Chains A and B, each alone.
Chain A
Amino acid sequence: MTELDSFLVYALTAVTLFALGLHSLLSRRHLLRKIMGLNIMSAGAFLLFISVAHRNGKEFADPVPQAMVITGIVVSISATGFALALARRIRKKTGLTSLDYREKPSPENHNRP
């Protein structure tokens, strides 16, 4: 019974984190917040995966999802690195910190080619 309970606790946390991340991905304007929102979404997905693995495991959680989540963590950090590089490029080229082009760019970067 306690096994099932801890599964429910972690799985419901996982889906809440996923929805929180999705909401901020759609509603935040600043690119850094969007990237952090994506990361929290991926944390939610991993947590759901492992809460199932924990229930199905023996002494450790089921090793197959564990291996996939480790792979996923490394892939998500490289995606984050790439996204941050793109965000910094946008900042440098346009002076904006979001994708909203109605915003006025900062005058310092505006004259630069």
Chain B
Amino acid sequence: MTGILFDMALCAALILTGWRVLHSSDHFQAVVLFITFGLILALAWVRLEAPDIAIAEAAVGASLAGVMLLDALRVMRSAGKEHEQERRWTNVARLPSFHLFFSFIAAVVVLVLLICAVLELSGRQGGLADLVHAELESSGTKHPVTAVLLNFRGYDTWIELGVLLLAVLGILTIRECSDLRSLAPPVASTIVFETLVRGIMPLVLLVSGYLLWRGGFAPGGAFQAGVVLGAGCILLWMAGHRSLAMLGDATWRILLILGFLAFLALGSSSLLHTGVFLAYDRQYASLQIFLLESAATLSIGTTLAGLVLALQPLKKDLSQANRDVR
């Protein structure tokens, strides 16, 4: 009984924070509420017995997305200081009432249709849990989620690494820079933060390695480990260290494509031997999965950190700004 009450309170908190994120008048407040929303959602994943997602959500939704949004907010605000400009951004800008009416109607229609779908779903049973548990023995790993991610649906994970790669390539294209070495050096941070980060970094590496190793038999795995690693690289940058930007051009590119390439190499070799893409040899399955996961961890970490770092000021931007000031 208390369980269901807690669920209801959690859901009310989710809807309320979601509403405030989208409709509060101040953008900064909205971003902070968005981070809060991520943390409450992580709690909901725990209640729904999905600890793997909870770890990923806490790391991605609550921290990484927060960093990205705060950074974007800083840039989108700072360029113009005119009073009217500020007023227009802080006030919640609205479209003409016709658009407002139309979007409200669209949202209500979608909501009603979805509620009907949910009510129809509530009578059904099914799912693939039994199938996964039956085949778990032959998958080369003891944790069902890792087995699905790396073995049964390895194809999805491969394509997903491709999507990550595309996102970084897209950002680099938009920024018109080919590697992170053309970034301006990071601003030096305070001594307190720098010392803190220096103390935390070994722990970040330890936690990342632990999550990767733990993925073999319990909640954890390549995604969570990669996200922790990426967050560590971003922390280093914020503390005034060059972080990923000190890597050579070739090293940075190899790290980016390592995960994608590892899947491709293993998939093609199994395609040649057995005629099936990404089929594991039962004898070596756990070793192959571990190698793939390690490569994916490095790639995910580099890519996610790259998504944030590639948006930092470039050397040429800074020199142009200096000329403008003079």
| A-to-B contact residues, CB < 8 Å | 2, 4-24, 26-33, 35-37, 39-40, 43, 46-48, 50-64, 66-71, 73-75, 77-82, 84-89, 91-92, 95, 97-98, 100, 106-109
CB-based contact B79/A62 at 8 Å: no
Kindly state the separation between the CA atoms of A109 and B15 in the bound complex, as whole angstroms. 38
The answer, among B61, B85, B99, B168, for a CB contact under 8 Å with A106, is: B85
Contact A17 B129 (CB under 8 A): no
Task: Evaluate contact between B75 and A88: CB separation under 8 angstroms.
Answer: yes
Which B residues form the contact surface with A (CB < 8 A)?
Answer: 3-4, 7-8, 11, 14-15, 18-19, 21-23, 27, 30-31, 34, 37, 41, 44-45, 47-53, 56-57, 60-61, 64-65, 68-69, 72-73, 75-76, 79-80, 82, 85, 89, 92-95, 99-100, 102-104, 106-108, 110-111, 114-115, 117-118, 121-122, 125-130, 132-133, 144-145, 147-149, 152-153, 156-157, 160, 163-164, 166-168, 170-171, 174-175, 223, 227, 300, 303-304, 307-308, 310-311
Q: Please, which residues of chain B bring their CB within 8 A of the CB of A2?
A: 3-4
CB neighbours (8 Å) of A106 from chain B are 79-80, 82, 85
State which of B49, B152, B300 has its C-beta within 8 Å of the C-beta of A74: B300
Distance, CA A5 to CA B11, complexed state (A):
13
B65's partner among A31, A54, A58, A77 (CB-CB below 8 A) is A77
Most buried by A among B19, B53, B303: B53
A contact face: mostly helix, strand, loop, or mixed: helix
